[in-house]
Chains A and B, each alone.
Chain A
Amino acid sequence: MKNRSIALGLSMFLLTGAALADDDCDDPVSGWQPRENLRQQLEADGWEVYRIKVDDGCYEVEGRNQYGSRVEASFAPSNFELMELEREDEDDDDDERDDDERRNYQADGNRQQTMPSNGIVKGRPSVSVQ
């Protein structure tokens, strides 16, 4: 009877562990794509990527999504399937103002609304990255 309880407890423990490990990625390393591919894919979707690191077998990305929200997201390294997405809170007034600016930026189809006002640059600059 005692042995049965121990076995039951042990299996419950293992099941719980398996459930908690759901967010982990278990892609074989041989099938991983380079993280630069993920960066390019996200940037093409309008993200700004700050860093990509490996965590629990997933690519963990810190950056801003296409809506200007600061996010931390996990992707499967082989097919870049989104495993987890957390939105991080901004923590001061400056960042809130930045958010407002970003919303304007998005609303204008990735063009800045604000005109430069420092007296050196006249009008809105034209900028591209190749």
Chain B
Amino acid sequence: MRKYFVVFGLVMTMFFSATASAREVTFDTQLTNYRGDGAYLAIYLTDSNGVYQGTLWIAGRDSEYYKHLRGWARGSRMRRAEYDGLTGASITSGRTLTMTMNIDDSFIDNGYEIHVDTAVEDRRDNRSDVMVPLTSEGAGKPVAGRGYVKSFTYNF
């Protein structure tokens, strides 16, 4: 009987340690009704000093245009390994990009910030259109962008 308790305890410990290492986060990015082509977006994390840590998502598939996502391009050096498996279509005016992903727990409530760079062909590039700390306190609170992003929200 005691053996079963030990095994059960081990299984539960493994389960909780696995689930505690990452948290499911949903990000909603709504664009303004701007005039122009589909927007390219880079959503990425920096530390509190603004130093690039990693990519969460790139909207826009043509890497030729990634240099216009200026803050992200500088931090990531546009290395393919940084965005492999994290790219999708560009987002047209007025639409909302919703993404749900598991993020390592160590990036939450530890001074890290989410940045959103945006760019539209023949129009202005916006480095850090959105910049917001990734904290439990900030979850569910919409933030307005200063470029093509109308509203940005994340939820755990």
Binding site for B on A (CB under 8 A): 39, 43, 48-51, 64, 94-95, 97-98, 102, 112-130
Flag if A124 contacts B85 (CB, 8 Å): yes
Flag if A120 contacts B62 (CB, 8 Å): no
The residues in B between 26 and 55 inclusive whose CB is less than 8 angstroms from any CB of A are 37-38, 45, 53-55
What is the 8 Å Cβ interface bit string for chain B, positions 79-101, against chain A (1 contact, 0 not)? 01111111111111001111111
Give the 8 A-B residue pairs with the shortest CB-CB distance, closest first. Answer: A125-B101, A114-B85, A120-B54, A122-B102, A116-B85, A127-B99, A122-B22, A126-B100
Flag if A118 contacts B92 (CB, 8 Å): no
Say whether B57 faces chain A, with CB atoms less than 8 Å apart: yes
The residue from B54, B64, B82, B84 contacting A114, defined by CB atoms under 8 A apart? B84
Known: A125-B100, A126-B100. 17 other contacts (CB 8 A): A50-B38, A98-B63, A112-B87, A112-B88, A117-B81, A117-B84, A118-B84, A120-B45, A120-B103, A121-B86, A122-B101, A122-B102, A123-B101, A128-B98, A129-B91, A129-B98, A130-B98
Please classify how large the interface on chain B is, using the bins under 10, 10 to 19, 20 to 34, 35 or more.
35 or more
Flag if A120 contacts B53 (CB, 8 Å): yes
Inter-chain CA distance A59–B21, complex, in Å, is: 51
Classify the secondary structure of A's interface with B: mixed
Flag if B97 contacts A121 (CB, 8 Å): no
The residues in B between 122 and 141 inclusive whose CB is less than 8 angstroms from any CB of A are none
Q: Please give, as numbers and ranges, the residues of chain B lying within 8 Å of A114 by CB-CB distance.
A: 84-85
Q: Please give, as numbers and ranges, the residues of chain A lying within 8 Å of B90 by CB-CB distance.
A: 48
Flag if A122 contacts B103 (CB, 8 Å): yes
How many Å from the CB of A113 to the closest CB on chain B? 8
Flag if A121 contacts B96 (CB, 8 Å): no
Inter-chain CA distance A48–B59, complex, in Å, is: 12
Known: A97-B80, A98-B62, A120-B56. A125 touches B98 (CB 8 A): no
